[in-house]
Amino acid sequence: MYKRSAIIYDAIYRAQGKDYAGETEKIQALLQQYRRSKGNSLLDIGCGTGGHIAYLRKRFSVEGLDNSEEMLDEARQKYPDIRFHLADMAEFELGTLFDVITCLFSAIGYVQTLPRLHQAISTFAGHLQPGGVVIVEPWFGPGVLDTGKIYAVFVDEPQLKIARMNINRVEGSLSYLDFQYLVGMPEGIENFRETDALGIFTDEEYQQAFRAAGLSVLHDETGLDGRGLYIGTR
């Protein structure tokens, strides 16, 4: 997962117009509404190359966590002053409590199974200050992911050309995104494949995981870009 695509990840989402700045503003508004802790520390879980961190760091003392060394290499190059952790979101132990924990852009889906969803939310809760907030942007629920289409993204930059196409498939409670890339740079053109596997969970399963971790939970059905948000408070 993201072994070879990490270096082009940012270019792909620039081409798609992902609004990290606007999403961060929405997160800030939610925190003003629900957060009661007085500190300023934030852990961004599944941070990838640090798209949200670019804006979160303006208001919070931020750390990032991801299980992809390649993605973290990109993040560290952009933000050498920020602490990043290489770890599994379901079973890390940092020895620190945070006022805010975010897990955005459906990264939670990579836990894949319901027991690991519970383990992850419990781990998040174990790193949360009293009065703190956990914000999780879910992956698509049952019956939502379209498996009958071909999707494509094209990047046309002076020194970088990309065609990324994918089809989706669902097997039981797992969704698979089968990507194929054609990438052109001045040093050459290459083709490679990657497959992402994300767990599909119901609204009730998400909420049960929060409650089992000792958190109160609210479900914002719209969220940042239509995928919804779960807001957990202690």
Q: Which tokens belong to 119? A: 């383990």
**β-strand pairing of 98-103 with 128-136:** parallel
Which CATH fold would you assign to the domain 150-199? Answer: S-adenosyl-L-methionine-dependent methyltransferases (2.20.130)
Neighbour-count burial for 114-140, b at 16+ CB within 10 Å, e otherwise? eebbbbbbbbbbebbbeebbbbbbbbb
User: Which residue type does 189 have?
Assistant: I
Q: What is the DSSP letter of 200?
A: -
Neighbour-count burial for 50-59, b at 16+ CB within 10 Å, e otherwise? bbbbbbbbee
At which residue do the structure tokens 């698509």 appear? 140
- Rounded to an integer, what distance in angstroms lies between the CA atom of residue 61 and that of residue 30? 18
Of the candidate CATH numbers 3.40.50.150, 3.30.1330.60, 3.50.50.60, 3.40.190.10, the domain formed by 6-141+201-233 belongs to 3.40.50.150
Domain locations in the chain?
Answer: 6-141+201-233, 150-199
Q: What is the DSSP letter of 140?
A: P
Strand partners, 62: 42
H or E element that contains 30:
helix 20-34
10-residue mean pLDDT profile of the chain (234 residues): values are: 88 97 98 97 98 97 98 98 98 98 98 98 98 98 95 98 98 98 97 97 98 98 96 96
- Rounded to an integer, what distance in angstroms lies between the CA atom of residue 60 and that of residue 166? 36
Q: Which tokens belong to 88? A: 């599994």
pLDDT at residue 1, rounded to an integer: 63
Residue 60 CA neighbour count, 13 Å, CB half: 27
Q: What is the DSSP string of 57-120?
A: TTTSEEEEEES-HHHHHHHHHH-TTSEEEE--TTS---S--EEEEEE-TTGGGGG-SHHHHHHH
